[in-house]
Amino acid sequence: MKTYSFRLPDIGEGVAEAEITAWHVKVGDHVEEDQTLVDVMTDKATIDMTSPVAGTVLKLFGAEGDKAPVGSVLVELEIEGEAEAEAAPPPASPANAGARPSRSEPASERQAPMDPGLDRGSDGEEEAPAAPSPSAVPPTPVIPGEDPGLSTPGAGERTPSSEPDGARLKAGMTGDGEAPAAQSSASPNPQPVTPGPVPGVQAERATSAESKPTPHHQILIAPATRRRAEDLDIDLNYVIGTGPEGRITDADLDAHLKSRAPEPAARERQGVHEKKIIGLRRKIAERMELSARSIPHFSYVEDCDMTALEGLRREINASRQGAQPKLTLLPFFMRALAQLLPEFPHVNAHYDAEAGVLRQFEPIHIGIATQTAEGLMVPVVRHVEALDIWDCAREMSRVTNAAREGRASRDELSGSTITLTSLGALGGVAATPIINHPEVAIIGPNKLMGRPVFINNQVTVRTMMNLSSSFDHRIVDGYDAAKFIQRLKRLLENPALIFIEKRSWS
């Protein structure tokens, strides 16, 4: 037997180390050639490391979350045959080592600034993106299943022990479901006769502790026990006597006190469970911390009357044809931003604080905050200024699905100039979204709600939505932010303006 040391190969230019994110084997496991041993993550990709040989795992080097330098031993295997003990595996790369699309992009290009949530229209239609806030990640849902330890007879089945004879006779039925015949005095197995309680004394009180008997019956109890009951403020009509002829004893008083005692308080819990934050979750935490620490946020919330836009959306969806995608609210927001941002170039921008430079972009690349199984990502719809409403819906669906399925490319997860993050039907009244660093603004639609409003001094119910937003106060002043959101509100409340092409007239 020989040993083989599997080392972390050179997995890309400029990559000196990788983080161990998941072990797929443990000591003692037998592995086959090309079987996945471990997942590692670099700044560029998450990569499956596969074994070039078959063998048995002798030792694992490093825990999940540890950093491993290139060339360091990850797994030691016991192998058969003539393979050299220290033979290095072939160089791995995202192309030949099971690379998956990058989940460790700079958070400015990836993580969602709000909590996960499905974006739905008011009619319950699922929005393409989930629009989360970094402050909360919703927990994973638990689906209750059947208890494998419980079993019941099938329909119509009856087991000999499933129903005592006494229970059947009490119901007036025999084991065969028939009424019992009158029992003959000459029965070969006569039932023993138990002397009953004295008439008028115990029979009326032998019902239950919850049933108050007739108060005119005689209660059998010793004088000392009666005085004790009075001292304890016990109503003897509710006490079941177990002494001779139903006499109430001190033990019966104790049992009654115990039965009426209050339920014990909920038991205190003492456990503390630690979970190491690694991989993508740690990257998200680092980038959110950077955003919150380095960007002086201020938030602005405005309510919008979405009645006309929601009516238009429903009408368009009802008449769409062929391969036209179903429209959610976000494509309308995208087109409204494409109309508006050229008037506010400092909002469609990145701020490089270290260089003291604001980079204002002519193209409009909108990030869509999306919840995925791997964490919060921001896939990007590029050049929204050149897309119509159908193109926006189609491209948004494509990139968000790619992110959720783990096949989004680096380019699809980077380069946004402003971000949309929608809580949708999971909603809430308002939010304070965290800016997607190094951008300077983020827009967060909340859920649609029917609310009474005054129009021409009359109350009417309208479909309303609170529009949340956050801005980098180093770049966007409060006045400019309010003006920007008010202009966006005007477009949303008058959706025909979204589709009017702007041209310069000489």
Q: Which residues are catalytic?
A: 473, 477
Measured distance between the N- and C-terminal CA atoms of the chain, rounded to whole angstroms = 86
User: What three-state secondary structure class fits 411?
Assistant: helix
Classify residue 121 by burial, with Cβ atoms within 10 Å: 0-12, 13-18, 19+.
buried
The DSSP H or E segment spanning 420 is strand 418-420
Q: Say how many residues make up the chain.
A: 506
User: What three-state secondary structure class fits 211?
Assistant: coil
The C-alpha atoms of residue 288 and residue 112 are separated, in whole angstroms, by 9
> Which whole-number Å values give the CA distances from 499 to 30, 327, 376, 445, in the listed order?
63, 15, 32, 20
How many other β-carbons are positioned within 10 Å of the β-carbon of residue 217?
16
The DSSP H or E segment spanning 40 is strand 36-41
Cα Rg of the chain (Å, integer): 37
Classify residue 233 by burial, with Cβ atoms within 10 Å: 0-12, 13-18, 19+.
exposed
Q: What is the DSSP letter of 312?
A: H
Strand pairing category for 36-41 and 46-50: antiparallel
The C-alpha atoms of residue 229 and residue 448 are separated, in whole angstroms, by 63
The C-alpha atoms of residue 395 and residue 333 are separated, in whole angstroms, by 14
- Asked if 72 contacts 5 with a C-beta cutoff of 8 angstroms, the reply is no
* Contacts with 66 (C-beta within 8 Å, 6 or more apart), sequence order: 19, 20
Percent helix / strand / coil, the chain, rounded to 5 = 25, 25, 50
Is the omega angle on the peptide bond into residue 438 within 30 degrees of 0, that is, cis?
yes
The C-alpha atoms of residue 16 and residue 418 are separated, in whole angstroms, by 32
The C-alpha atoms of residue 331 and residue 320 are separated, in whole angstroms, by 15
Helix ranges (H only) for 72-200 are 165-170
The C-alpha atoms of residue 178 and residue 210 are separated, in whole angstroms, by 32
